[in-house]
Amino acid sequence: MAIEYQEKERLFTLHTANSTYQMKVDSYGYLLHLYYGSRVKGSMEYLLTYADRGFSGNPYEVRDDRKYSLDALPQEFPCQGTGDYRSPAFVVRNGNGSYSTKLLYDSCRITEGKYSLPGLPAVYDTEEGETAEGGLRTPASDGIQTLEIVLRDEVNGLKATLLYGVLPGLDIITRAVKVENEGTETVNLLKVQSACLDFLYGDYDLIQFYGRHAMERNFQRTPVAHGAQMIGSRRGTSSHQYSPFVILAEQSATEDQGGCYGLSFVYSGAFKAEVEKDQYNQVRISMGLQDELFDYPLKPGDSFYGPEVALSYSKEGLGKLSRNYHKTFRYHLCRGRYKTAPRPVLINNWEATYFDFTGEQIYNIAKQASELGVEMLVLDDGWFGVRNSDYSGLGDWFVNEKKLGGSLSDLTERIRGLGLKFGIWVEPEMVSEDSDLYREHPEWAFVVPGRKPVRGRSQLVLDFSRREVVDHIYRQISKVLKEASVEYVKWDMNRSIADVYCATAGREDQGAVMYRYILGLYEFLERLHQEHPDLLIEGCSGGGGRFDAGMLYYTPQIWCSDNTDAIDRIRIQYGTSFGFPVSAVGSHVSAVPNHQNGRITPIETRGLVAMAGNFGYELDLNKITEEEKVCVREQIREFRRLWNVIHNGDYYRLTSPFGDSEAAAWMFVAEDGSEALLQAVTLEAHGNPLTTYIRLKGLEPEAFYVDESTGRRYNGAGLMSAGVPLPQLGGEYRPWQLHLKKEE
């Protein structure tokens, strides 16, 4: 059993293949966290210690027992107002204005399968995947269970149901919370963290992934010291600046050994993650909704769901932790026709034309692309409304037939005549002030009354917390998709959210708008998913500004970054790989000098880096040389040939591009061990260069592997222990690949 409940001891134990999570209801009714780590047997309650600690308060019911204090005990769902002065997971303002909650144990329930969350994305079990989404049954699918623990506050009438989903074969435990108001007065939710982990001792590092537009998810590792460290987003999206995925790692943990804990927020809006080392050297880490601009009124009879956090523990280092998430998100979060199927190799016209194109130019790009083996043409920004720059047109989702020289259906038929699929770019959440929609409905945009709005990319944000706004935009875009038989959508979102104000919400509801906005976004995407089941949607927010697990539930791939430079992309894709699978990464070959940083790299290098994702091109293939066209044909053939090992294999980071290595290297190993693919790019070039050796990972030590290019034979243990020398490639930014087949 994945979940065990010992009623006499009121002890809950959650087991995965390699980890155990344990908690206990104590004699006073508080739910205490006992343990999370390597798989163990028996009760871990003996870890708890009690002492009279100065200035750590004692709950009234313990009477004169000064050794009992929630300020020092590890808890599952710590609340403000209990005498615990550490960062709480749950804060409410009661009807009388007080800030106090006391949630005590009420009941529990264990069920088969994985819980779901209404209106929110969540990891699912395979039965749902098989019946609704064409999921695959793997050994990791067996034994999935849900635990519900009900806590109640008898004074304010709040009921909190803690939800735990256990996926044993994937070493994943999910957490979410449902809050219900069974009282007689409205209470306001001010902070809801869906997951909280308390550690009684230990020296840890916080690993997080910071960045900016066009340079997302940079790796950063810092010691957890006394005090609180916080990362998060106030931007209305998960953001370019901080990823809603963090790792708490033992200070000795490496890629291949040591304990580490991952927390991934399955949500696409503003978030907060906190880690705090307290006065007793205990560490608390929590993750959930951003509490700034959050003030959610919960009326009597209403309920609220805190989005899911996916937890994982690995005692085998960061690499194993990453692979836990890769498999979970690929098989138990992504959905739809393209969940595990090869996706079309596409060409996007954006960097080839920007806004300046005609239908004939798009056709000519498609014609050359089809001759080289590309499988889909994606028409980017500028096909709709009066949209010849980024100053106008957003919100007017009708085809600009004058610009295209005819209907979109006419153009798509011509392109399909070349053997290509067809896709388009949309930005449904935005509106231009110079648009028919804004002139007709200015109140549909986020604007604070009496103030001029903050612009971003010269556009405003539509209020997706309002159903009529979502419905209007959905009708327009769905009509275009149907009439032109569109097979792919790139869903973009090109600014952060400010001026949060809903014109139809009362004063008391403004603090709920951003949460409801994300529900509106998800509702729109779910309708697309249900009504256009064969549609492939790629998420995007200026590239990687909304690269999160929540979006993967609706969009199985996300444009990794607006930065298409191969060398910068190595760093961006390295950071992304810690929490997300290769199948989630949109990655293209673009022109040189690169449009973002001016760097010149060989087309072979650009192709190699883009293959570590969903492969495509972002340039006009009519403008490259004949030699480069030969290379493009070969790249597409090579990607198709290697697709299985890249997308279905286990991913290993071999070097860090943020370290002092002169080469970046990564590899893929087929799940059945039959083949392995090593890819590397030189980052520096020096006179009289040293030889760089790369140690491989994930091979069978006793097996022998053959290089398909040279026929050279290698022993698996030798490749992992001593490594392989990187050839002298004669310059920086040079690619190298080693494709190995295991001897039978």
The residues assigned a catalytic role are 548, 628
Which of 524, 548, 492 lies closest to 239, judged by CA? 548
Distance between CA 705 and CA 534 in Å, rounded?
39
Distance between CA 555 and CA 673 in Å, rounded?
30
Helix, strand, coil in percent for the chain, rounding step 5: 25, 30, 45
**End-to-end Cα, the chain, rounded Å:** 37
Q: Which residue has the tokens 């480069």?
A: 628
Residues 6+ apart with CB under 8 A from 594: 564, 565, 600, 601
The secondary structure of 679-734 as a DSSP string is EEEE----SSPPPPEE---S--TT-EEEETTT--EEEHHHHHHT-EEPP--SSSS-
Distance between CA 181 and CA 94 in Å, rounded?
11
Using CB atoms within 10 A of its CB, is residue 201 exposed (0-12), middle (13-18) or buried (19+)? exposed
Residues 6+ apart with CB under 8 A from 478: 527, 528, 531, 532
Give the containing element (helix H, strand E) for 376: strand 376-379
Instruction: For CA atoms 625, 631, 635, 636, give the dihedral sign.
Output: positive
Strands 376-379 and 346-348: parallel
E strands, 213-259, in order: 215-223, 227-232, 245-250
- The CA-based angle 561-563-569, given to 5 degrees, is 80
Order across the sheet with 663-669: list the strands: 650-653, 663-669, 675-682, 735-742, 704-707, 713-715
- Report phi then psi at 648, rounded to 5: -105, -10
Beta-bridged to residue 145, according to DSSP, are 112, 166
